[in-house]
Every structure is written in C-alpha cells, then in structure tokens.
Amino acid sequence: MNFELQNHRILVTGATSGIGLDIARTLAELGADLVLFGRNRDKLAELEQELGAHTLAIDITDETAVSMAFTDMPALNGLVNCAGISILDSVLDVKAKDLERIMTTNVTASAVVAREAARHMLAHGRQGSIVNVSSQAAMAALPDHLGYCASKAAMDAMTRVLCLELGPKGIRVNSVNPTVTLTPMAERAWSDPAKRDPMLAAIPLGRFATPREVALPVAFLLSQAASMVSGACLPVDGGFTSH
C-alpha cells in the first residue's frame, strides 16, 4: 500500500503559511486535489497557480461563512485542520480576551470545520480521514503557553470524540503533535540561543522539526496506508514527550 493520494480531494485550513503551506504542497506532490482555506488572498491566488488548487479566503471563526463554504464544494475525501494561533504570556499575566481568542480559533473553529467536512463527506457518500494539527503542547507543559497548551489538549480530546462518533460512518480522525517546527516565523522566534538551547536539550534527537517532517505524517494519516489508524495523537517531536 502506498501513500499516494490520487483521486483524493482534501481540504486544508491555514494553508497560506507555515506548516499548512508545506502540508498543501506535500499533498499536491502526492496527487491530491486540494481545497485551501486561508486569509491571505494574494497567497491563495499564487497557490491556485502553483498547485492547481481550489481556494477560498475565509475567516474560519465565522460559523456562517464556514457553513456556506461547503454549499457548492465538490465531494471531499479528507480534511486537515491546520489553522491556529498562539498568544504567549506567563500565567500571572494571561488575559481572558487572549484565552478566548486562542480557544475560538484553535478549538471551536476547528470543531465547526470538522463538523461541516464530516457532514459533507456523508452527504456525498464518502468515507475519509480528518487530521488535526495539534502540538506537543497538548502533552507537556510549556512556560508561557497556558492558552496554547489548553487549546491543543482540547483539540486532542476533540480528535478522540470525533473518532468515536465518526468511525462507525467510515471516517477516521487523528492528530499529529509536532515539536517546534522551523517555519520562517519559528526560525526567527527560536533564534536566541538562550531560548533555543534548553528546548533542543529536551529533544532526544537534538533538533527541531522541518515542516516537511510534519507534512509527511499528515499525508500518511490521510492515506489508505493508515486505514486502521484512528483516534491516535501522533507525536512528531523527536522524543520530547517521551520523558
């Protein structure tokens, strides 16, 4: 069984930057027909040309807009919930409005997109796969990450419930839980040795992930090579959560 995704139509949220962009490019290489959600209209236009993707500029926290986006969408085989945000503060400085914003984007919006994607698959008689892009922050406490840790732990719980309810309908649901992933933004954020070196020391493999190293496990979970994998939260963290 190979990992190719020909004749698979897959929706990717958060596709215009970071991990989501690499996921979109990797899935396209494997033959997937892509539907991409994002906020950056110019980047979406570029991806239409580069990947032959169908794109939509959308705020996924707008439930009505998300529901309408599925009205005329061709039948899906998969979803990658990758859109997310992080706002960092110590527990003594955390703000309620920031916590609400993180949970709204990372949990509520992802749940709504998953709901609509599942409804869409079932309405078109499709079985398929949903992959939620979570984080090692769901599995381990990180300083200044109260809201982010809470939101990703909630995403993993959501994965398990979706697995339980959608499995009998032929839809598999899993999460991937990456460590620090060296997108251009992360490379800048982790450039200070005082911040970088302690985190690297906690990763048994001794390095951070590349976006490609996250995208390939996502592709595996979307493919029929993972046909008996559902409800898993897969660390892609170089061993960070092993201790």
Q: What is the pLDDT of residues 110-156, one digit of tens each?
A: 999 999 999 999 999 999 999 999 999 999 999 999 999 999 999 99
Question: Averaged over 168-184, what is the pLDDT?
Answer: 97
Q: What is the per-residue pLDDT across 193-240, written as a single tens digit (0 to 9) for each?
A: 999 999 999 999 999 999 999 999 999 999 999 999 999 999 999 999
Q: Give the integer Cα–Cα distance in Å for 124 and 10.
A: 14
What per-residue confidence (pLDDT) applies to 243?
86
**Percent share of the chain, pLDDT over 70:** 100
Instruction: Identify the sign of the CA torsion 238, 241, 242, 243.
Output: positive
Looking at the predicted structure, is the pLDDT value of residue 1 above 60?
Answer: no
What crossing angle do the helices spanning 18-29 and 211-222 adopt, rounded to 10°?
50
Q: What is the pLDDT of residues 90-113, one digit of tens each?
A: 999 999 999 999 999 999 999 999
Look at residue 11 in the predicted model and tell me its pLDDT: 98
Beta strand 54-57 pairing with 78-81: unpaired
Residue given tokens 């690297």 in the structure block: 200
Domain boundaries, the chain: 9-181+210-234
- Say if residues 117 and 111 touch (Cβ distance below 8 Å): no
Percent of the chain with pLDDT over 90: 97
Tokens, residue 170:
């032929």
Asked if 116 and 70 count as a contact pair (C-beta separation under 8 A), the reply is yes
Separation CA 165–CA 115 (nearest Å)? 11
* Per-residue pLDDT at 42 exceeds 90: yes
Of 52, 55, 49, the C-alpha closest to 15 is 55
Q: Which residues are known to be catalytic? A: 148, 152
Mean pLDDT value across residues 38-53: 97
Assess contact for 22 and 82: CB atoms under 8 A: no
Q: Enter the DSSP assignment of 226.
A: G
CA geometry: angle 223, 40, 211, nearest 5 deg: 40
Q: What is the CATH number of domain 9-181+210-234?
A: 3.40.50.720
